[in-house]
Amino acid sequence: MAIPRFAVLAHPVAHSLSPRIHASFGRQMSIALDYSAIDATAEEFGNALGAFAASGGVGANITLPHKQRAAAACDTLSERARRAGAANTLTRGATGWHGDNTDGVGLVRDLTGRHALDLRARRTLLIGAGGAARGVAPALLDAGIGDLFIVNRTPERADALADALEQPGRVHPRYLDDLKALGEFDLIVNATSAAREGAMPALPMSLAGARTAAVDLSYGEVAIPFLAWARAAGAHDAIDGLGMLVEQAAESFALWHGARPDTDPVFAELREHRAALVTAD
């Protein structure tokens, strides 16, 4: 019997921990799988996904910068992916790809479980309006946060995400220039790839306070600038996206294999691996 093929599609993809995570899940659950990484630019994405399917691929994780593109490539979408307008988990069926989005539930599981945060009624700032932001915004609203303010380098995209969320009295698009006047937030989520591109926007210290939880959806070096700002601004919590990555991967694994793995040992393994790399440097 052929071992089922899975992959993560991104650009760049060399840094991705997804192959390592899914290999760990497979060993834990005694499930044989082949999980690879495929580097595809925006122009190459459609052909790369088609070639993967033609080679026997049955499941794919999608990350930057392709999540909205992936949703458009699917024949069917889950309610989560439809609400987000973005897909990070694709499953191959008889009629084509089915898209889902596990980012939001992964983030909420990490924050409320691993970090024991109560998200209810938290005044929230979401920085970014691309595929990552679209993936987590609906789940944060469902988790009971208070007002959600969305800022983005391109104001039109913030407006579009706010419109898509369909909660005008609770969701407020703003401009980056408005940040100084917005006051303090209980939860700040950085969902941009700006640090990866060396263009992290300047954030006023007034956004964070003694009870603020600051969360970067990225992990590793690209999360450092935002988390450093959060600590300097006095935020109570500064959390990177490693836990979310593991939790959303576990949701994807469950969709594909019908069983959800234990995420704690895999998260601990990745933290130890990262600490060893820092020590080696």
Q: Confirm whether residue 28 is marked as ligand binding.
A: no
Q: Confirm whether residue 156 is marked as ligand binding.
A: yes
> How far is the C-alpha of 80 from the C-alpha of 101, rounded, in Å?
6
Q: If you write DSSP's letter for every residue of 75-104 in order, what string do you get?
A: SEE-HHHHHHT--SEEEEETTEEEEE--HH
> Is residue 201 a contact partner of residue 155, using CB atoms and an 8 Å limit?
no
Q: Of 67, 98, 109, 257, which residue is the catalytic one?
A: 67
Q: Confirm whether residue 131 is marked as ligand binding.
A: yes
Q: Confirm whether residue 233 is marked as ligand binding.
A: no
Q: Confirm whether residue 157 is marked as ligand binding.
A: yes
How far is the CA of 163 from the CAs of 83, 105, 172, in angstroms?
11, 21, 9
Q: Confirm whether residue 130 is marked as ligand binding.
A: yes
Cis amide leading into 204 (omega within 30): no
Q: Confirm whether residue 155 is marked as ligand binding.
A: yes
Q: Confirm whether residue 64 is marked as ligand binding.
A: no
Q: Confirm whether residue 241 is marked as ligand binding.
A: yes
Q: Confirm whether residue 173 is marked as ligand binding.
A: no
Q: Confirm whether residue 248 is marked as ligand binding.
A: yes
Is 180 catalytic? The answer is no
Q: Token pair for residue 68? A: 């909205």
How far is the CA of 194 from the CAs of 6, 43, 147, 205, 216, in angstroms?
29, 21, 24, 18, 11
Q: Confirm whether residue 61 is marked as ligand binding.
A: no
Burial class (CB in 10 A: 0-12, 13-18, 19+), 254: middle
- The residue among 146, 207, 155, 215 whose CA lies nearest residue 179 is 207
> How far is the C-alpha of 121 from the C-alpha of 235, rounded, in Å?
18
How far is the CA of 11 from the CAs of 8, 14, 41, 163, 193, in angstroms?
10, 8, 6, 28, 12
Q: Confirm whether residue 80 is marked as ligand binding.
A: no
- The residue among 94, 18, 6 whose CA lies nearest residue 52 is 6
Q: Confirm whether residue 63 is marked as ligand binding.
A: yes
- Residue in the structure block whose two tokens are 């694994």: 253
Q: Confirm whether residue 33 is marked as ligand binding.
A: no
Per the annotation, where are the binding residues for NADP(+)?
79, 128-132, 152-157, 217, 241
Which residues carry a binding-site annotation? 16-18, 63, 79, 88, 103, 128-132, 152-157, 217, 219, 241, 248
Question: Binding site for shikimate: which residues?
Answer: 16-18, 63, 88, 103, 219, 248
Catalytic residue ranges: 67
